[in-house]
Amino acid sequence: MQAPHISIERVNKVFESDCRTVAALQDISLDIPHGQFTCLLGPSGCGKSTLLNAVAGFAPPSSGAIMVDGRPVAAPGPERGMVFQEYALFPWMTVEKNVAFGLEIKGLPAAQVGATVDRLLKMLSLGDFRQRYPKDLSGGMRQRVAIARVLALDSPIMLMDEPFGALDALTRRNLQDELLRIWAGLEKTILFVTHSIEEAIYLADRIVVMTYRPGTIKRDLLVEIPRMRDPAAPAFNALKRELGMLVMEEQQRHHNDELRMAALD
Ligand SMILES: Nc1ncnc2c1ncn2[C@@H]1O[C@H](COP(=O)(O)OP(=O)(O)OP(=O)(O)O)[C@@H](O)[C@H]1O
Ligand SMILES: [Mg+2]
């Protein structure tokens, strides 16, 4: 059997600040094989970004280990590309410079950088906008630039934190389809965070539902519906209902927690 590509072993994360301690993740263990498209699903505040940041190497866990291909993650690395919850583009750079940036840092020859940037801008329908700055783009276009920038690095692992959260429904569906095409064509391993149940079912091989604080794994299931998936199909709806119930329980816990905190103030 092939060793797991990403191995998350008994990870805990505690945030300590002046007045309080937040247990964000508790005893998370997850093995992700090569090429799997995994969605982390859960309500706001359940630790999805915290877990993704730990896998990316931006914020190490308080205890436990994260391994990629058997090596412990200690810092960000070129084999893990991240698309952030807020589009992290450089506002002072044009679209093409944003996409080229990582390649230039690597010291690749200009001709190679140019060819890669051309290919990706075309793939993501950004060719006509290459000289624009992020402020002159729509949310969907900015998000496509962020995806192009990660694809430019050609990382085998893509970590995506609610990348389509701020988009209208049609743009979101188009980008989901583009991402599925890229994933299938380039054989990436994707760890994708969302709080949309429908998005998780539409995209994922596997859905990991997290509990509200502290984030633990509530359910880990494989989506066995063939692609391209039809959100109106009975199997899609049955899974949506099942996951809806799980997420709603956690949202209720979130709500109760907020009421309790308000009462303490
Ligand atoms: N740097 C930090 N310092 C203190 N607490 C933090 C920090 N980062 C996150 N937290 C807390 O940890 C918990 C998990 O946060 P996280 O951002 O991972 O949630 P999330 O699931 O990504 O939520 P959302 O869906 O809103 O993005 C929250 O209660 C949050 O307030
Ligand atoms: Mg988040």
Tally of CA atoms within 13 A in the half-sphere of 18 that contains its CB: 0
Looking at residue 132, its pLDDT comes to: 97
- In this prediction, residue 261 carries a pLDDT of 83
255 pLDDT band, cuts 50/70/90, is confident
Interval 204-213: pLDDT, tens: 999 999 999 8
| Smallest CA separation from ligand 1 atom 7, residue | 15
Of 203, 210, 198, residue with least CA distance to 38: 203
Residue 3 confidence (pLDDT): 63
Q: Global pTM?
A: 0.92
* Ligand that lies nearest to the alpha carbon of residue 254, given by its number in the listed order: 1
Q: Looking at ligand 1, which atom is closest to the CA of residue 210?
A: 21
Residue of 41, 46, 161, 217 to test ligand 1 pocket, by largest number of atoms within 8 Å of CB: 46
Tens of pLDDT, residues 82-136: 998 777 899 999 999 999 998 998 899 999 999 999 999 988 889 999 999 999 9
Nearest alpha carbon, ligand 1 atom 3: 15
Q: How close is the Cα of 264 to the center of ligand 1, in Å?
A: 21
What pLDDT digit, counting tens, does each position of 174-186 carry? 889 989 988 999 8
Could you tell me the distance, in angstroms and rounded to a whole number, from the CA of residue 193 to the centre of ligand 2?
A: 8
Report which protein residue has its CA nearest ligand 1's atom 2: 15
Give a three-class secondary structure readout of the chain: CCCCCEEEEEEEEEEECCCCEEEEEEEEEEEECCCCEEEEECCCCCCHHHHHHHHHCCCCCCEEEEEECCEECCCCCCCEEEECCCCCCCCCCCHHHHHHHHHHHCCCCHHHHHHHHHHHHHHCCCHHHCCCCHHHCCHHHHHHHHHHHHHHHCCCEEEEECCCCCCCHHHHHHHHHHHHHHHHHHCCEEEEEECCHHHHHHHCCEEEEECCCCECEEEEEECCCCCCCCCCCHHHHHHHHHHHHHHHHHHHHHHHHHHHHHHHC
Phi, psi of 71 (to 5 degrees): -110, 135
Which ligand 1 atom is nearest residue 50's CA?
18
Q: Using one digit for the tens of pLDDT, what is the confidence trace for 155-173?
A: 899 999 998 887 888 888 9
pLDDT tens digit string along 186-207?
A: 889 999 999 899 999 999 999 9
The pLDDT value recorded for residue 187 is 87
Report the pLDDT value the prediction gives residue 136, as an integer from 0 to 100.
95
165 CA distance to ligand 1 centroid (A)? 16
How far apart CA 1 and CA 25 sit, in angstroms, is 29
Specify the residue with its C-alpha closest to ligand 1, atom 5.
15
Evaluate if residue 254 carries a pLDDT over 90. Answer: no
What confidence tens digit (pLDDT) does each residue in 240-249 have? 999 999 999 9
* Ligand 1 lining (C-beta closer than 6 Å): 15, 17, 22, 24, 42, 44-50, 85, 195, 213
Closest residue by Cα to atom 30, ligand 1, is 45
At 12-69, the pLDDT tens digits run: 999 998 888 999 999 999 999 999 999 999 988 899 999 999 999 999 999 999 999 9
pLDDT tens readout for residues 221-230: 999 999 999 9
